[in-house]
Amino acid sequence: MRILLHFALLVAATISATAGSQERLPIIDMHLHSYDEANYFVAPDRYGKMSPPTADAHFEATYEIMRRHQIVLGVISNSASSEEAWLAKDKDKRFLRGFGSFGQDEWTPKSFDQLVKDGKIDVFGEIGAYYDGRTLADPYYEPYLKICEEFGIPVALHTGGGPPEITYRGAPKARLLLGNPLLIEDVLVKYPKLKIYLMHSGAIYYLEALRLMLSYPQVYTDLGVVLWVHPMPKYYGREFLLRAKEFGMLDRVMFGSDQMAWPHGIEMSLVQLESFDFLTQDEKRDILYNNAARFLRLSEEEIARHHGM
Ligand SMILES: [Zn+2]
């Protein structure tokens, strides 16, 4: 009993320490991934903590963390079947539907156009052009970008690198140079009204991300793996936020966790962001909710509903 009580106190202390003054305020996660049995994998994270044993357990853990931390909206992407499975289980209507780049051989501009017109796509991405050995400026993406610009569908582009050894394990065309956000400049020139965010804030190319944001005020970012996945991206994440503040661009930075197979990555990201003493509580609030609400053009009613959830 005493042990249980100690444990309960410890949990309570941890939760209040991590939540800080952001407690019970809504959060938007711009970067989540859905899984079903076909694409789920069980593996340890960089720190040795295992992912949940099944795709179902992984969904339950992700959803429970969203509820506990007031994550009222999350952009999900991955295979079409996993997105559909998650949307079917989304009792609280917390998910926005992305358009994952896995299995993209099945895409056609025509089928994408139809999905957009049917209201079935909220975000075009995560686009992992880097993993396919190209950039968003590749002509392959042109018809999709045209549709996104016309219908106001935000583009979510993976930037930076990938996991260790990924070029030897499943993504033979991936090259680190392709993750440089400056390589998409032609896209911004050709589609000036496109809504776009750089996932992972450029990671190793965080200064390039900021330079692009300076020239192109429509460009937003999410934090993705730079809050938790590995010490190196965590270094980029801290530097990115310091410089984004110094250069006056924090109002275009959005929270995202990129939890992948590790739902606890969401909480690690929240803890990391909260630990940054160089950010004010108002700046953290903007990153956690307000910037994404503006980017997604949420209605006043929806924002009010999120604050009452
Ligand atoms: Zn991702």
CA of 34 to the centre of ligand 1 (A): 10
Contact 279, 246 (CB under 8 A): no
Residue 231: CB partners within 8 Å, gap ≥ 6?
none
| Cα 198 to middle of ligand 1, angstroms | 11
What separation in Å is there between the alpha carbon of 304 and the centre of ligand 1? 29
State in Å: Cα 210 to ligand 1 middle.
20
| C-alpha of residue 82 to centroid of ligand 1, in Å | 14
Phi/psi class of residue 157: alpha, beta or left (left: φ > 0; alpha: ψ in -120 to 50)? Answer: beta
Residue 11 lies in a domain: no
What whole-number distance in Å separates Cα of residue 111 and Cα of residue 127? 17
24 — pLDDT class (breaks 50, 70, 90): confident
Number of domains forming the structure of the chain: 1
- The CATH number of residue 32's host domain is 3.20.20.140
Is position 12 within any domain? no
Residue 283 lies inside a defined structural domain of this protein? yes
29: in domain: yes
Please tell me the predicted confidence (pLDDT) of residue 103.
55
Tell me, yes or no, whether 242 lies in a domain: yes
Q: How confident is the model at residue 17 (pLDDT cuts 50, 70, 90)?
A: very low
In the reported structure, the alpha carbon of residue 258 is separated from the centroid of ligand 1 by a whole-number distance in angstroms of 5
Question: Region 272-301: what's the mean pLDDT?
Answer: 98
What does the pLDDT read at residue 154? Answer: 98
State the average pLDDT for the chain: 92
Please give the pLDDT value at position 13: 41
Beta bridge partners of 50: 44
Task: State the distance between the two ends of the chain, measured CA to CA, in whole angstroms.
Answer: 34
Kindly state whether residue 214 falls inside one of the protein's structural domains. Answer: yes
Q: Check residue 104 and give its pLDDT.
A: 59
Distance 77 CA to ligand 1 centre (A): 8
Give residue 264's pLDDT. 98
- 193-213 pLDDT, tens per residue? 999 999 999 999 999 999 999
Let me know if residue 90 belongs to a domain: yes
Say what the pTM is. 0.92
* pLDDT at residue 16 in the model: 43
Residue 8 lies in a domain: no
CA distance 104 to 100: 8
pLDDT tens for residues 291-303? 999 999 999 999 9
pLDDT score for 309: 83
- Give the pLDDT of residue 94: 98
Query: Which domain covers residue 134, as residue numbers?
Result: 22-307
| Centroid of ligand 1 to alpha carbon of 93 (angstroms) | 21
Task: Tell me the average pLDDT across 160-183.
Answer: 97
